[in-house]
Amino acid sequence: MSRASDTAYEKIRRFILHGEAHPGMQLTEERLCEISGVSRTPVRDAVQRLENEMLLVRSASKRLSVADWSDDEIDEMFALRAMLECHGAERAAQRMDSGGLERLRAVNDLLTRAVQRARPDITTFLDANRQFHDLILEYAQSPRLSKLLPALVEQPVVRRTANQYSRDDLIQSAKDHDELIAAFAAGDQDWAGAVMTSHIRRAFHSFHFATRSADTEG
């Protein structure tokens, strides 16, 4: 891949995950060139990578749009994420050291302060949450897992989930992280895996509860 392709990939991906994009939004090559600041050829390379990650999809008429997943697809994403992150937590528990524990505590302290504000800081929560899970993946020391997991964790549904969390949900997420740190400190892989599975399943049910509530209000 060329440097221009990498630039296009990073900028378009950021637009989808953290920018103005919304599920089902149609995108043209011209618009993607504007977003990335590069020409059509590297944009096409970037689009192919993003299609492989299921962040962009093509219709039968070849129109390109931001992915908008069905309930069944979202259910599967959370199920796969729970299995993979459980495995990662179990491996990390066997390899965690004092430096890693210190880094995890520092990140979770930041996350906890963000969610305990009168008006929770979702942006800081998302950033700290990503750092926390990335650290666990780092200590899992699994190249295969490092390639498989980001495609699920980075998807916009994660951002939508956080934005639909109640304040209690956000605080519970920080508490789950505290228990994960305790499991890592104990070197207990079964405990770490169980907490991680519960953590992801809780996120799944919070997402669905918030989605159903929004549909009812609408």
Pairing relationship of beta strands 64-66 and 26-27 according to DSSP bridges: antiparallel
pLDDT of 122 reads 87
The continuous run of DSSP H or E covering 64 comes out as strand 64-66
Question: Measured at the alpha carbon of residue 211, what is the angle toward residues 32 and 163, in degrees to the nearest 5?
Answer: 60
* Average of per-residue pLDDT across 147-176: 76
Q: Which domains does the chain have, with CATH numbers?
A: 3-66 (1.10.10.10), 71-217 (1.20.120.530)
Q: How many residues appear in the chain?
A: 218
Name residue 199's amino acid.
H
Query: What's the pLDDT band for 157 if we cut at 50, 70, 90?
Result: low
Q: List the end-to-end C-alpha distance of the chain, in Å, as a whole number.
A: 45
Name residue 124's amino acid.
T
- CA distances from residue 206 to 18, 26, 93, 172, 189 in whole angstroms, order as listed: 21, 28, 26, 11, 26
Query: What's the pLDDT band for 161 if we cut at 50, 70, 90?
Result: low
Residue 179: other Cβ atoms inside 10 A: 16
Question: Measured at the alpha carbon of residue 127, what is the angle toward residues 207 and 31, in degrees to the nearest 5?
Answer: 85
47, exposed or middle or buried, with CB in 10 Å at 0-12, 13-18, 19+?
buried
Give the pLDDT confidence of 66-121 residue by residue, as tens digits. Answer: 988 777 888 888 899 999 999 999 999 999 999 999 999 999 999 999 999 999 99
Q: How far apart are CA 57 and CA 54, in angstroms?
A: 6
pLDDT of 41 reads 94
Q: What letter does residue 53 receive in the DSSP assignment?
A: T
Q: How far apart are CA 216 and CA 193, in angstroms?
A: 35
**The model's pTM:** 0.77
Query: In this structure, what token pair is assigned to residue 145?
Result: 């897992």
Residue 99: other Cβ atoms inside 10 A: 9
Query: In this structure, what token pair is assigned to residue 77?
Result: 């994403």
pLDDT of 217 reads 52
